[in-house]
Chain A
Amino acid sequence: MAKTNGNFRDLAADPGPDVPEDARSKVNGIQARSSSVLSGLSRARRGVGLGGRSVPSARPSRRLPSRSITLALLVIPSVVLVAVIYGYPAIYAAFQSLHNGNLVDAGQYVGLQNFQADLHNPAFWQAVQFTIIFCVVGVFGSWIVGLALALLLRQKMHAPGFFKTLLLLPWIVPVVVTATAWRWLVATPTSLVPHIAQDLGLGQLLFLDSPGLAKIIVCVYKVWLSFPFMMLMASAALAGVDESLYEAARVDGASSWQQFRLITMPMIARSTYISWVLMFIFCIGDFQSIYLLTGGGPVQSTNTFVVLAYETVFSNFQTGPGIAIGFLMMLVSVLVAVILYGRIRKVAIS
């Protein structure tokens, strides 16, 4: 909030001639209330936490005629890039999913045959199922671990900054390295995890050879990869919660659990929702962490949509059905993303 306040203060100090009176009084009003607990809560409901955006200040009184042109020129490079790198593949995928071609040749128009082949393939529905499990566990598992660590790091301790950086390692170290390390840890009979399992009397567990266990390992691995991101998002949100709220609650005799449930959670609700949405997008499109850990096996049990699409195109050389899977997946993820995106602004927690 400090950031936004800076802007308010600038405006309030010298609002300029063209700031309408009501805006000015609103600015002063918000500033006057900003110290009160009530306004803190109401700000939270509106989702203005730390890192919230600055209030669009009064436009310069004479509208620069070149303003729009300059703004357009500033975004054009990224628009062109997005159009080529995402727009072209979208059209290509739509076209190829209706043809029986391969990577070099466009092939014949076959209508919806590729889609029919996919929908009648049991592996497809297995992948749908595991994609859902993978996303749900990935999003909420990493959120719980990340939030818990962010809360823990706010306690009084020695060198919290050091630990915060250290705990980002799973996110910083490339997936190809950590997947290798995880394979060693869980799949080598002489290593740590199988040893522990044996000591617990579970016998010799082959973690990556049994479909059920492999699914669990893949999900745990994804949580392990993603909790640092969620920890960063939660830390930023927690830093924006007004300390005076906790003081007021303590005076009223609220327990720490009550403080967490009634102050912390509502205050970071908006930011939490955004981090869920982002993590969902990261999970549904995630190829490398699954492919590098299990390759989708054993017996395709850890195939998600993405891995199945890759396998169908590059291992089974069924380009049409593979691209059809990708195209379906693109439709689903873009549609879900747009719906969730629309809700980011609307979501109101009371």
Chain B
Amino acid sequence: MTASTTGRLEATTKARASQPRTRATAPRWRYTVLVSVVSVILLIPVFVTVVLAFQPQLQSTSHSAFTLANFSYVFSQTEVLTWLRNSLIVTLATVLVAVIIAAPAGYVLSRSRSKAVSGYALLLFVAQSFPQIVSVVPLFVLFAHFNLDDNLLGLAIVFVSMTISVATWMMAAYFDTIPVALEEAAWIDGCSLFGGFLRIVLRNSLPGVLSTAIFAFLLAWGDFLIAVVFLRSDTNFTLPIGLQTFFSANNTEWGYVMAVSVVVMVPPILVFGVLHRYFSIGGIGGSLAGH
């Protein structure tokens, strides 16, 4: 083989190799840039919260663009740590109980086709469409009888009931992906229905459980309506009520307000950042359509 033919061969292979690559990479970059621009525009409200929280107040003498003064102020001058603790307690309790109640219910929804279960599915749907504003006043009166008003336990009970429909659909959607044959094999080996659910289905459903837990976390963490009606004393405030109260009292001190805002939004972002690959809510469509 002469040098010129080798050169020509190399040239053609290079051309062949590079052609599809340019064809694939150019639009790839174009779409990446497009999505980046769209994301930045859509997320401006989130960015401004962070930027304002780390910027000095207008009247401050500091000229640097970055400061932690807002945070040191709100941590020392407000009850924000107490609110953070309250929010964590009530949210974690909600997540735990919501999963414990929704998992078995979702199993029934996924596996049974009886009339009673269809009725139950409809009940869940009605519960989801029930306006919270209607339940909040009667529940406040009811819970006051048991000293559960202005109380984190009472709040958690209502939160669990708010999450229960979607949580059950999410669990059912995940259980739908687990082949029934697995349980049937266990039943033949003498396992009870409940045993099969616990040892075969639930044990293989960690992503579904985490997904449901994330949903319950976001809902309980962000609730405002129930908490604003139920909680009266500021040592019982959750973060959203704390932020709203603080904002009403200091509505021009944007640096402080945004510092509290950052404290409110960091935990859900952390939870989602760590666990996002387990999160899937799209399946509830199939779960709903089946009944």
Point out residues on A near B: beta carbons under 8 Å. Answer: 3, 6-7, 10-11, 14, 47-54, 56-57, 60, 64, 66-68, 70-75, 77-79, 81-82, 84-86, 88-90, 92-93, 96, 103-104, 149, 152-153, 155-161, 163, 165-178, 180-182, 184-185, 188, 191-192, 224, 227, 229, 232-233, 235-237, 239, 270-271, 274-275, 278, 281, 284-285, 287-288, 291-292, 305-306, 309-310, 313-314, 319, 322-323, 326-327, 329-330, 333-334, 336-338, 341, 344-345
Chain A residues near B1: list those with CB within 8 A: none
Contact (Cβ within 8 A) A174 B221: yes
Q: Which A residue's beta carbon lies closest to that of B24? A: A156
Point out residues on B near A: beta carbons under 8 Å. Answer: 24, 27-29, 31-32, 34-36, 38-39, 42-46, 48-49, 52, 100-102, 104-105, 107-108, 110-114, 116-117, 120, 122-142, 157-158, 160-161, 164, 168, 173, 176-177, 179-181, 184, 187-188, 192-194, 197, 218, 221-225, 229, 239-240, 243-244, 247, 254, 257-258, 261, 264-265, 268-269, 272-273, 276-277, 280-291
A51 to B290, CA, bound (A): 10
A171 to B192, CA, bound (A): 41
Chain B residues near A60: list those with CB within 8 A: 184, 187-188
A122 to B34, CA, bound (A): 47
Distance in angstroms from A150 CB to nearest chain B CB is 10
Q: Which A residue's beta carbon lies closest to that of B120? A: A75
Contact (Cβ within 8 A) B125 A81: no
Chain A residues near B130: list those with CB within 8 A: 86, 90, 285, 330, 333-334
Q: Which A residue's beta carbon lies closest to that of B169? A: A278
Distance in angstroms from A115 CB to nearest chain B CB is 15
A75 to B124, CA, bound (A): 11
Chain B residues near A85: list those with CB within 8 A: 135, 139, 157-158, 161
Distance in angstroms from A88 CB to nearest chain B CB is 6
A160 to B36, CA, bound (A): 10
Contact (Cβ within 8 A) A157 B31: yes
A158: contacting residue among B32, B101, B181, CB under 8 A: B32
A57 to B178, CA, bound (A): 12
Contact (Cβ within 8 A) B269 A10: no
Contact (Cβ within 8 A) A173 B46: yes
Contact (Cβ within 8 A) B157 A93: no
Q: Which A residue's beta carbon lies closest to that of B177? A: A3
Distance in angstroms from A349 CB to nearest chain B CB is 13
Can you show 21 pairs from A to B with CB atoms below 8 A apart?
A: A3-B176, A51-B176, A52-B290, A53-B287, A54-B180, A57-B180, A72-B116, A74-B194, A81-B161, A81-B164, A86-B135, A88-B139, A90-B130, A92-B142, A93-B138, A165-B272, A169-B269, A173-B46, A192-B44, A227-B42, A285-B131
Contact (Cβ within 8 A) B261 A181: yes
- Tell me whether A155 and B31 are in contact in the complex, defined as CB-CB below 8 angstroms, given that A103-B140, A178-B46 are known contacts: yes
Distance in angstroms from B133 CB to nearest chain A CB is 5
Q: Which A residue's beta carbon lies closest to that of B134? A: A326
Q: Which B residue's beta carbon lies closest to that of A160? A: B35
B133: contacting residue among A11, A235, A309, A338, CB under 8 A: A309
A161 to B273, CA, bound (A): 12
Chain B residues near A70: list those with CB within 8 A: 192-194
Contact (Cβ within 8 A) A86 B261: no
Contact (Cβ within 8 A) A173 B268: yes
List 4 A-B pairs, minimum CB-CB distance, nearest first: A236-B282, A337-B129, A51-B286, A174-B222
Chain B residues near A185: list those with CB within 8 A: 44-45, 48
Distance in angstroms from B37 CB to nearest chain A CB is 11
Most chain A CB within a 10 A radius of its CB, from B24, B141, B177, B273: B177
Contact (Cβ within 8 A) A49 B161: no
Q: Which A residue's beta carbon lies closest to that of B47? A: A181
Q: Which B residue's beta carbon lies closest to that of A164? A: B276
Distance in angstroms from A279 CB to nearest chain B CB is 12
- Tell me whether A89 and B139 are in contact in the complex, defined as CB-CB below 8 angstroms, given that A53-B176, A177-B264, A285-B133 are known contacts: yes
Distance in angstroms from B128 CB to nearest chain A CB is 6
A49 to B112, CA, bound (A): 20
A78 to B172, CA, bound (A): 14
A309 to B114, CA, bound (A): 39
Q: Which B residue's beta carbon lies closest to that of A152? A: B35
Contact (Cβ within 8 A) B45 A178: yes
Contact (Cβ within 8 A) A54 B123: no
Contact (Cβ within 8 A) A341 B269: no
A205 to B252, CA, bound (A): 19
A309 to B134, CA, bound (A): 8
Q: Which A residue's beta carbon lies closest to that of B128? A: A281
A242 to B100, CA, bound (A): 36
Contact (Cβ within 8 A) A174 B46: no
A309 to B284, CA, bound (A): 30
Distance in angstroms from A58 CB to nearest chain B CB is 8
Distance in angstroms from A309 CB to nearest chain B CB is 5
Distance in angstroms from B238 CB to nearest chain A CB is 10
Chain A residues near B282: list those with CB within 8 A: 50-51, 232-233, 235-237, 239, 271
A174 to B134, CA, bound (A): 22
Contact (Cβ within 8 A) B43 A330: no
Contact (Cβ within 8 A) A75 B285: no
A82 to B114, CA, bound (A): 20
Chain A residues near B240: list those with CB within 8 A: 174-176
Contact (Cβ within 8 A) A345 B289: yes
B129: contacting residue among A52, A274, A285, A326, CB under 8 A: A285
Contact (Cβ within 8 A) B127 A86: yes
Contact (Cβ within 8 A) B32 A159: yes
B126: contacting residue among A160, A285, A291, A337, CB under 8 A: A337
A283 to B157, CA, bound (A): 23
A188 to B127, CA, bound (A): 39
